[in-house]
């Protein structure tokens, strides 16, 4: 049993410190200062944070409504955006509570944690896939809409004992907007149980990401402590368990099903299973196979279209190079985690980009050779992909042939 902290109310007192709220407002505004609601709050940040602190102290604070929108990639989701003042409170809650839970978290949970992230999870999964023969892939079905409020609150109360902090966190959880309906029956339920239990927390809140780690920490300790699998990776609700023994993984899957059932969650029937690591399997937007990392085909197609759109915006004068270059550099940095550096260069070439410091003859040679299906551009494309010079949106003119999609997608030789 974890040691319960904050029994004397010191956590809530720290949260209500106006200086702490000001720091949290600055954190919440990072990268969003040009948004009208954020700019308006920052304009009067100090008086607004003092008012917010008094409202919290008096117990009068209540979460406001959410603005919702939907995305379709990589799958249909409802995204919820809280008003900026509420996001300041969310940051304040997480900054106070996170250190006490961080001590309990296993080192191989990578979502929404300092020093972790997608690429760290990818690196560990790639390393384990090169050493182990089999992998158990798991994905929780409709994870955020399925989170049971009562179970989540009970998990928080195992560690936190500050009643006023718990009341505040309960307000955030109970203030969740309507999520995608999920009706699942678990052992011990009667006909009406799923309809009577509150469930679902919004995708988009910092508190939701933090609370997801709190809830699935139960799964992490089940896999690593009780089942004894050290070769484990989890990113949010996607996880991998590696082993040389397929039978042991089948046993682990049964145990994991039982663990998630106690949390009123279910594994996705189609997105999981036990596979050989010699066969490609997806994780964190990449495809892994025995230590080889590739981007998904659809990711490359979308990236090419997005990069072309940015180039055309610059050519039309609706965007400037200074605003476009960081976005291209961000994609380039993400794509460099694949096993082939040629892939980055060929995708940029297909989108109509050149790199400063690489002469036009070189660019033309790469494009024509790739179109002809020869192996000539290997060295040149590697030079382009690994250059550190800035990217300039340009049009590849003349009779240069476009790079075929099959060559761009399979540039690392891992796909045919």
128-152 confidence digits (pLDDT tens): 999 999 999 999 999 999 999 999 9
To the nearest 10°, report the CA torsion of 164, 166, 169, 173.
-130
SS (H, E, C) 340-398: CCHHHHHHHHHCCEEECCCCHHHHHHHHHHHHHCCCCHHHHHHHHHHCCCCEEECCCCC
Q: How far apart are CA 190 and CA 291, in angstroms?
A: 47
Closest CA to 347 of 321, 327, 367: 367
Q: How far apart are CA 293 and CA 123, in angstroms?
A: 9
The answer for residues whose C-beta is within 8 angstroms of residue 345's C-beta and 6 or more apart is: 366, 381, 382, 384, 385
Q: Work out the burial of residue 84: count CB atoms within 10 Å of its CB; fewer than 13 is exposed, 13-18 middle, 19 or more buried.
A: buried
pLDDT at residue number 354: 58
Closest CA to 228 of 212, 258, 252, 201: 252
CB 180 within 8 A of CB 200: yes
Reading the block at residue 108, the tokens are 């191989």
pLDDT at residue number 373: 46
pLDDT at residue number 3: 67
First to last CA, the chain: 52
Q: How far apart are CA 288 and CA 245, in angstroms?
A: 19
Q: How far apart are CA 90 and CA 64, in angstroms?
A: 12
Q: Work out the burial of residue 169: count CB atoms within 10 Å of its CB; fewer than 13 is exposed, 13-18 middle, 19 or more buried.
A: buried
Q: Work out the burial of residue 334: count CB atoms within 10 Å of its CB; fewer than 13 is exposed, 13-18 middle, 19 or more buried.
A: middle
Q: How far apart are CA 233 and CA 120, in angstroms?
A: 10
Q: How far apart are CA 217 and CA 105, in angstroms?
A: 6
C-alpha pair distances (Å), 302 with each of 31, 42, 276, 305, 357: 24, 35, 29, 5, 27
Reading the block at residue 226, the tokens are 């009780």
Q: Which residues pair with residue 240 across a beta bridge?
A: 137, 233
C-alpha pair distances (Å), 319 with each of 312, 347, 356: 9, 21, 19
**Percentage of residues in the chain having pLDDT higher than 70:** 83
Positions in the chain short of pLDDT 70: 1-3, 8, 341, 354-416
Whether the link from the prior residue into 74 is cis, omega within 30° of 0, is yes
């Amino acid at each position: 049993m974890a040691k319960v902290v904050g029994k004397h109310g010191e956590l809530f007192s720290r949260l209500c410190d106006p200086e702490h709220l000001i720091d949290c407002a600055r954190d919440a505004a990072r990268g969003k200062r040009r948004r009208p609601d954020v700019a308006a709050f920052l304009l009067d940040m100090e008086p607004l944070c003092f008012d917010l602190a008094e409202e919290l102290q008096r117990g009068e604070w209540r979460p406001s409504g959410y603005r919702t929108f939907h995305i379709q990639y990589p799958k249909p989701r409802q995204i919820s955006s809280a008003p900026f003042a509420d996001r300041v409170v969310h940051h304040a809650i997480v900054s106070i509570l996170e250190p006490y839970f961080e001590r309990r978290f296993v080192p191989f949970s990578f979502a929404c944690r300092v020093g972790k992230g997608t690429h760290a999870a990818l690196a560990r999964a790639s390393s384990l896939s090169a050493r182990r023969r089999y992998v158990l892939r798991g994905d929780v079905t409709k994870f955020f809409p399925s989170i049971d409020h009562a179970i989540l609150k009970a998990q928080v109360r195992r560690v936190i004992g500050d009643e006023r902090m718990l009341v505040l966190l309960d307000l955030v959880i109970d203030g969740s907007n309507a999520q995608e309906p999920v009706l699942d029956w678990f052992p011990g339920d009667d006909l009406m149980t799923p309809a009577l239990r509150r469930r679902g927390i919004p995708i988009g809140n910092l508190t939701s990401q933090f609370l997801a780690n709190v809830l699935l920490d139960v799964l992490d300790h089940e896999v690593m402590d009780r089942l004894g699998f050290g070769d484990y990776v989890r990113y949010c609700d996607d996880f991998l368990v590696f082993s040389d023994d397929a039978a042991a993984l089948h046993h682990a899957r049964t145990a994991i099903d039982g663990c998630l059932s106690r949390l009123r969650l279910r594994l996705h029937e189609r997105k999981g299973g036990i596979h050989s690591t010699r066969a490609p399997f997806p994780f964190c937007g990449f495809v892994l196979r025995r230590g080889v990392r590739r981007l998904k085909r659809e990711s490359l197609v979308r990236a090419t279209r997005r990069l072309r759109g940015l180039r055309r915006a610059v050519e039309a004068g609706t965007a400037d190079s200074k605003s476009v270059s960081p976005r291209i550099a961000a994609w380039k940095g993400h794509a460099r985690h694949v096993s082939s550096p040629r892939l980055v260069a060929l995708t940029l070439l297909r989108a109509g980009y050149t790199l400063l410091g690489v002469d036009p003859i070189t660019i033309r040679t790469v494009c024509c050779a790739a179109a002809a299906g020869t192996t000539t551009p290997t060295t040149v494309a590697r030079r382009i992909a690994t250059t550190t010079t800035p990217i300039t949106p340009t049009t590849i003119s003349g009779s240069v042939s476009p790079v075929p999609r099959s060559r761009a997608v399979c540039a690392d030789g891992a796909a045919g």
